[in-house]
Amino acid sequence: MNPQDLLNNPQLANISPEKLQFLMELAKNNSPNASTPKEMAESIKNASENVKKEGVSFSPNERDLIIEALKQSMPPQEQKKVDLLMQMMKTMRK
């Protein structure tokens, strides 16, 4: 994903600068040509652990927006895989 796309995404307009910086780094590390949903999930998990160490947390709505923003650069088939993975994760949390 092009990190610049995050700056222009209206869904992320109200996110804090610290969180936006986190997303920019995440986007830089997730090339749409190289990332599979599994790789993206692992990258998000690792980045989430790092950001927690800095005392930053994301609400469930913010997490959903992040996933949607990252999916935009993926082909439709890969987007469906991400949706399935996210649904499985939500089911496991219950």
* Owning domain of residue 22: 3-93
Query: pLDDT digits over 2-58, tens only?
Result: 667 777 777 777 888 888 887 777 777 665 555 666 776 777 777 778 778 888 888
d(CA 54, CA 90): 25
Tell me, what's the pLDDT at 12? 75
Higher pLDDT, 29 or 91: 91
pLDDT of residue 2: 65
Cα(33)–Cα(22) distance, rounded to whole angstroms? Answer: 21
pLDDT of 49-88, one tens digit each? 877 888 888 888 788 877 777 777 778 998 898 888 888 8
For the CA atoms of 10, 90, 17, 12, the dihedral, rounded to the nearest 10 degrees, stands at 0
Prediction pTM value: 0.61
The string of DSSP letters for 67-80 reads HHHHHTTS-HHHHH
**Residue 75 confidence (pLDDT):** 85
71/74 Cα distance (integer angstroms):
5
- Whole-angstrom CA distances from 23 to 66, 88, 93, 94 are 8, 23, 24, 27
Split into its structural domains, the chain has a count of 1
